[in-house]
Structure 1
Amino acid sequence: MYRDLEHRLAQHIREFLRSSYGVDLEKIVIEQPRVELGEYAMPLAFELAKKLRKAPRKIAEEIVSDIGSIDGFAKLEVAGAGYINARVDRTALAVALAKNDKPAVESSSGKVLVEHSSINPNKAAHIGHLRNAILGDTFVRLLQFAGRTVDVQNYIDNTGVQVADVVVGFLHLDKKSRAQIEELAGKPRFDYYCWDLYAKVSQWYEQSAENKKVRLQTLHEIEEGRNETAAVAELISTAVLRRHLETMDRLDIEYDFLPRESEILHLHFWDAAFEKLKEAGVLSFETEGKNKGCWVMRRAGTSGVARAPSPAGNEAETGAISSTVDQDPERVSEEDQKVIVRSNGTVGYVGKDIAFHMWKFGLLGRDFGYRKFYSYPNGHQCWISAEHGEPEHPHFGDVERTYNVIDARQSEAQNAVIEALRGLGHGEYADKLTHFSYEMVALTPRCAAELGYELSEDDKGRAYIEVSGRRGFGVKADDLLDALIAAAKQEVNSRHPELAESERQKISEQIAIGALRYFMLKYTKPSVIAFDFKDALSFEGETGPYAQYAVVRASNIFRKGGLDPNAFCRDVASNVSAEELTKFLGDNDLWELWLSASKTAYIIDQCIATTEPAYLAKHVFQLAQLFNTFYHRYPILSEADESRKRFLLATAAVVRRELTRALGVMGIQVPPVM
């Protein structure tokens, strides 16, 4: 509602300026003043002063005098040296909020793809992966709230070096056969076994150069496919992937499709992309220097475009790459080169990612096979790529826009994909590929110590402790969830011993998951997070439990008054009249609470436009704060004035509904008690 009023105000102002002054302002800047000054503030008179050669206040006075009435607004006022403050019709906005009116939203008909998680299937998921998955899942929910159709994909690099390392561990350190590995893979938490093995392999590589050669040979065999090493890699990566999905399911995070790198190779996605990249001159072949024998492209951010005609022959079919190439006079300098195909003929990560993104936008002319892989408890089906799939399947790909939730360290690779799309002549799709980047997750020294890690005196004085999968130092996602649930359970047990064990367990899970999701979302994406159990689970301050508790408090008001909170909140408008709203909303403190509750859609639009879910977390916290102040200031159930009591109950109801809704978009459930 707040969002729609802002759009209406901006459009009315824009049309007035065009008709009265012949001025077109593409963007009308609208600020949010203190509530006693109005709901919107516009500094546009200052922007117009030079064009119209008038004082800003004079322009503001003319606009306020001549613009006429605007539906939903009580009046416009001139403030200070030329601000225009807009006051909404409080009663009209409150009635719409009480009715839960949802104005029509203009939404693109195209499908949006959100790719997130993308955990290497070589060991257990860790705390850093949780930030990625929670950010991605929340962004999916934001888009769905805004009416978009979303495909949720989780890219699986099952032929990369990390998987190769674990294969080396099983075959060369543990000396296990495929049958023995298969038996292990069927046991609980196989991903934990792989976690420890991965750290051992990293240490083994450091012992000799010969050991590192085993990695290269293993990687080559996995990429080649159809051999024993590739079969072992398939077995391990599939078992670990299934564990990852189980871990994320605990957080109510689901996927629609799991595209795998193995199919990008074996279904010749890269071969098709390679031909197109050569034809467009995006790639050039190096005949000298450190990248001799490699196919390279110009790094993103450097000037010019590398262009070289493709060598003759059918290397796309044979895998061989000719070195007979006529070089373009504008040769890319070595420091500006990004290697896409190595001199041994293997394609790097960026090359495969370029092919994958061409498929995403329907530019490749090829498709995956699809087969069912994982069924969620709610019946939702997750599909996986295959060389030979099922005849009936959903349609994936051909999307209008894609968001890739990948950490900030992958910026160069993401920019290379974007520049490749531009070089292919698909600038419109390059503009619709968004790198949803974020920073790492670390641990506070206190948290690391609580998890059993030995810290030096220097470590104890640090702001945070970095984690490292190769060293085996980090927090497994399932361990973190278990620890959070156990801590929440202690509190729930002490507060509600009368509840059944199963109910206390469910409440503990809701509190723990709410705490984790909120903690990961409240920081802006460029912030390094130092995770801490005590901070995350606190019932005070900017935490998930604090926001959940505000909703529980609101529900308790209704229960103590003999009312069903869900029924009352579904039909707030029938429990309070427009006259009562007008009578009591003159109080700015009460009005601020209603106004804040009306901003959910406005904040969600802001989150989508900036790819920053932290704005919604901040909104939830501020609304919970305002409600808690209201809760302590107004003893609703003992209010003698029945009219005022109805209004106060309606206030609690709309805040409860909007907090529950906003928390739901963050993937946070509200328990019945806390």
Structure 2
Amino acid sequence: MLSLWRRDLAQGLSAAIRSAFGVEHDPVAEIPPRRALGDLAFPAPLHLARELRRRPREIAEELARTWRPPAGVREVRVEGAGYLNVYFDRPAFAARLLAEPLLGADPGVAGKVVVEHTNINPNKAAHIGHLRNAVLGDTLVRCLRALGLPVEVQNYIDDTGVQVADVVVGFVDIERRTVAEVAALPEPFDHHCWDLYSRVGAWYEEDPSRQGLRRETLHELEAGHGERAEMGRLVARRVLARHLGTMARLGVGYDLLTHESDILALDFFHLAFEKLQAAGAVRLEAEGKNAGCWVMPLADTPEFAGLEDPDKVIVRSDGTITYVGKDIAYQLWKFGLLGKDFGYRWWPEQGLWQTAVEGAHEHPGFGGAERVVNVIDARQSYLQKIVRAGLSALGHQDAARRSTHFAYEMVTLSAATARLLGFAAEDGRALEMSGRKGIGVKADDLLDRLEEKAREEIAARNRELEREELRRLARQIATAALRFFMVKTTTTRVLAFDFDEALSFEGDSGPYLQYSLVRARNIGRRLAGAGLEAEVRPEAAAALAPELWSDDLWELVHAVARTGEVVEKAASTLELSLVARHALDLAQAFHALYHHHPVLHEEDPALRRTRLATFQVFARGLRTTADLLGIPEPERM
């Protein structure tokens, strides 16, 4: 909401400057360090002093006399060397915060944003590192939608890649199972594949010639025919269903599942490859280590200049397509630049649309984005640059500029958590995971352990709870713990996951935010139990005397008003930890005021109503940010 006030006040001040001095100026509003200095401060007089050849304070005093700010502003004062400090009508402003949405749509926003996230290879159980991708992607989607942008969420399913091929080799060549036998394996199927995948890696090491089976399997998967291709489809579908169930536990959802097998079957890549050939963006190497490969030469591209080997293989000498080749075709489709579309079919068991070679006649429109955000870990930065270079080489410079790689660092386990889960961490260092070696924590196992620890904590505090309510609360708290932990750290840092830190009811944690929400809601419950007014309506808040809002109470109201600006910055910079930090700041400010400004035992009805209104504003603010973070609000803690 504060951003709207900034804009409206800046426009009004600009008009006043034009009227008073005959010059054009775009005023910028700052937030004073203390509320005693006002709610917004305009340094415009300081910026105009040189042009007008007048002292800043003199300019400020003239503007203070002539500027007529809109309703809702109580006063404009000249402060310091020449600042114009704006003081809001506190009751009216608080009433608006109680009545109006804290986040609003930008009227200038147009065009769909496609966000691709999660993208787990469907060959084994999801692990803790995958959760960071999914949570960051889902949080970004929530923020963009809250800001009024149309967003389409896609989950790319690499069902023809090396990882799936290796699991197929494990079933066919190590375990000697038929498709029917694999179909009959009990759940959790993805856990079986987890163990099998690491066995395949060791099996290859025993005899490297066995990797020929991987190449054979890859060819069958890409062609879509044969027993190995059928086995690959079964493995991918069963594992994918498990992945979707894992993500649903965290409230993560999608609009479209995009299958790599459909990109190949519909010849998306060959269509894109023909475009690259026609543009002279790829060449066939006749000699050297890339002999027989089609490569994209990038030595003359600024982003790749100086690299020892800047050329990127798009098609290998054996005819198989590299990941980046498929990614270029997929990125073109996302922007509606490929000239071809998927078929689409509904997956009723999952309630999701997915791509197909031939699909339903009626379906939503997918792709055709104005902007694309790919949530992929930082190790893939080079490949994402190549995708953008491919778009540029085809003449789609605007699409390349609107292709954003949302990069993040990987997740490790703290030494304490690694020991708790049965892994040896050397010298107290965090443990790095490896799916191929079988070192890591399955996402569902982690969630189960978090829920178990949450149940123990809740049961110790609330011995009277029924089993079902205990289970529900434990799941809500585990979700909050994990989601907040994945977002609170800047994406440029490796994240060492720690059980005790994530589940703490105090400090920087999701459960702490949940506790704050419950505590704020209980104020109204206790008031109602005492027969007192339990809620302040916006019109009642507007009628309160301005002097009842002390500066410390008003600082909390003001902080809530800044929520929209925080979310806008987080979404534009992809630094979602700003939202987590803002939520924590709100919660900590609330707890600092809670005992100094009691509500239930305050005898003055007007002051009691002011404090209650302040805490209601806080609850709206924290509830809004918690929803963006995917943190559920429990009934009790």
TM norm structure 1: 0.88
* Other structure's SS at 1:152 match: strand
For residues 345 and 513 of structure 1, do their structure 2 counterparts lie closer, same or farther at Cα, with a shift above 3 Å needed? same
For residues 429 and 71 of structure 1, do their structure 2 counterparts lie closer, same or farther at Cα, with a shift above 3 Å needed? farther
* Other structure's SS at 2:157 match: coil
Q: Report what 2:290 is aligned to.
A: 291
1:545 equivalent in alignment to 2:511 = yes
Comparing 35-44 and 278-287, the one that deviates more: 35-44
Q: Report what 1:573 is aligned to.
A: 538
Q: Which ranges in structure 1 are unaligned for 5 or more consecutive residues?
A: 307-331
* CA distance in structure 1 between the partners assigned to 2:56 and 2:300 by the alignment: 42
For residues 622 and 366 of structure 1, do their structure 2 counterparts lie closer, same or farther at Cα, with a shift above 3 Å needed? same
1:614 equivalent in alignment to 2:577 = yes
Q: Report what 1:177 is aligned to.
A: 178
Please tell me the residue identity of whatever aligns with 1:106.
P
How many Å apart are 1:16 and its aligned residue?
A: 5.0
* Other structure's SS at 2:206 match: coil
C-alpha RMSD of matched pairs (Å) = 2.7
Q: Report what 2:86 is aligned to.
A: 86
Q: Report what 1:536 is aligned to.
A: 502
Instruction: Pick the aligned partner of 1:420 from 368, 378, 390.
Output: 390
Q: Is the 8 A contact 1:252 1:667 kept in 2?
A: yes
For residues 32 and 227 of structure 1, do their structure 2 counterparts lie closer, same or farther at Cα, with a shift above 3 Å needed? farther
* Other structure's SS at 2:130 match: helix
* CA distance in structure 2 between the partners assigned to 1:209 and 1:653 by the alignment: 66
For residues 277 and 13 of structure 1, do their structure 2 counterparts lie closer, same or farther at Cα, with a shift above 3 Å needed? farther
Q: Is the 8 A contact 2:528 2:534 kept in 1?
A: no
Q: Is the 8 A contact 2:20 2:63 kept in 1?
A: no
Q: Report what 1:494 is aligned to.
A: 460
Residue pairs, 1:141-152, within 5 angstroms = 141-152=142-153
For residues 101 and 216 of structure 1, do their structure 2 counterparts lie closer, same or farther at Cα, with a shift above 3 Å needed? closer
Comparing 217-226 and 191-200, the one that deviates more: 217-226
How many Å apart are 1:427 and its aligned residue?
A: 1.8
* CA distance in structure 2 between the partners assigned to 1:563 and 1:365 by the alignment: 65
Comparing 144-153 and 286-295, the one that deviates more: 286-295
For residues 345 and 231 of structure 1, do their structure 2 counterparts lie closer, same or farther at Cα, with a shift above 3 Å needed? same
Q: Report what 1:509 is aligned to.
A: 475
Please tell me the residue identity of whatever aligns with 1:433.
S
* CA distance in structure 2 between the partners assigned to 1:304 and 1:254 by the alignment: 34
Instruction: Pick the aligned partner of 2:405 from 409, 427, 435.
Output: 435
- Give CA deviations for 1:538-582 in whole Å, capped at 9, x if unaligned: 1110111111111111111111222699x966x6315x3424251
Residue pairs, 1:67-466, within 5 angstroms = 67-100=67-100, 105-106=106-107, 108-184=109-185, 187-299=186-298, 302-303=301-302, 335-375=309-349, 381-456=351-426, 458=427, 460=428, 462=429, 464-466=430-432
* CA distance in structure 1 between the partners assigned to 2:325 and 2:409 by the alignment: 24
* CA distance in structure 1 between the partners assigned to 2:268 and 2:285 by the alignment: 23
How many Å apart are 1:455 and its aligned residue?
A: 3.1
Please tell me the residue identity of whatever aligns with 2:237.
T
Q: Is the 8 A contact 1:170 1:176 kept in 2?
A: yes
How many Å apart are 1:46 and its aligned residue?
A: 5.5
Please tell me the residue identity of whatever aligns with 2:547.
K
* Other structure's SS at 1:555 match: helix
For residues 287 and 54 of structure 1, do their structure 2 counterparts lie closer, same or farther at Cα, with a shift above 3 Å needed? farther
Q: Report what 1:324 is aligned to.
A: none
Comparing 491-500 and 332-341, the one that deviates more: 332-341
For residues 474 and 333 of structure 1, do their structure 2 counterparts lie closer, same or farther at Cα, with a shift above 3 Å needed? closer
For residues 651 and 300 of structure 1, do their structure 2 counterparts lie closer, same or farther at Cα, with a shift above 3 Å needed? farther
Counting matched residue pairs gives 635
* CA distance in structure 2 between the partners assigned to 1:26 and 1:499 by the alignment: 59
* CA distance in structure 1 between the partners assigned to 2:500 and 2:299 by the alignment: 43
Q: Report what 1:309 is aligned to.
A: none
Q: Is the 8 A contact 1:558 1:564 kept in 2?
A: no
1:584 equivalent in alignment to 2:526 = no
How many percent identity over aligned positions?
47
Q: Report what 1:471 is aligned to.
A: 437
* CA distance in structure 1 between the partners assigned to 2:504 and 2:418 by the alignment: 18
- Give CA deviations for 1:300-354 in whole Å, capped at 9, x if unaligned: 8834999xxxxxxxxxxxxxxxxxxxxxxxxx99722111122222221111111
Comparing 264-273 and 495-504, the one that deviates more: 495-504
How many Å apart are 1:61 and its aligned residue?
A: 5.3
Q: Is the 8 A contact 2:105 2:149 kept in 1?
A: no
- Give CA deviations for 1:615-638 in whole Å, capped at 9, x if unaligned: 111111111111111211122111
Please tell me the residue identity of whatever aligns with 2:211.
K
* Other structure's SS at 1:385 match: strand
* CA distance in structure 1 between the partners assigned to 2:259 and 2:453 by the alignment: 37
* CA distance in structure 2 between the partners assigned to 1:160 and 1:387 by the alignment: 18
* Other structure's SS at 1:580 match: coil
Q: Which ranges in structure 2 are unaligned for 5 or more consecutive residues?
A: none
Please tell me the residue identity of whatever aligns with 1:145.
A
Q: Is the 8 A contact 1:120 1:163 kept in 2?
A: yes
Q: Report what 1:4 is aligned to.
A: 4
Q: Is the 8 A contact 1:568 1:653 kept in 2?
A: no
Please tell me the residue identity of whatever aligns with 1:159.
T
Q: Is the 8 A contact 2:79 2:85 kept in 1?
A: yes
- Give CA deviations for 1:40-80 in whole Å, capped at 9, x if unaligned: 34455565566566666566556555544355433444444
Q: Is the 8 A contact 1:33 1:40 kept in 2?
A: no
* CA distance in structure 2 between the partners assigned to 1:301 and 1:89 by the alignment: 59
* CA distance in structure 2 between the partners assigned to 1:10 and 1:203 by the alignment: 66
How many Å apart are 1:515 and its aligned residue?
A: 1.0
- Give CA deviations for 1:74-121 in whole Å, capped at 9, x if unaligned: 344444445543333323211211223566641534222111100010
How many Å apart are 1:287 and its aligned residue?
A: 2.7
For residues 633 and 468 of structure 1, do their structure 2 counterparts lie closer, same or farther at Cα, with a shift above 3 Å needed? same
Q: Is the 8 A contact 2:94 2:541 kept in 1?
A: no
Q: Is the 8 A contact 2:160 2:261 kept in 1?
A: yes
* CA distance in structure 1 between the partners assigned to 2:338 and 2:134 by the alignment: 28
Instruction: Pick the aligned partner of 1:482 from 448, 473, 481.
Output: 448
Please tell me the residue identity of whatever aligns with 2:265.
H
Instruction: Pick the aligned partner of 1:636 from 599, 617, 628.
Output: 599
* Other structure's SS at 2:171 match: helix
* Other structure's SS at 2:431 match: coil
- Give CA deviations for 1:388-420 in whole Å, capped at 9, x if unaligned: 222222221112221111111111111111122
Comparing 270-279 and 39-48, the one that deviates more: 39-48
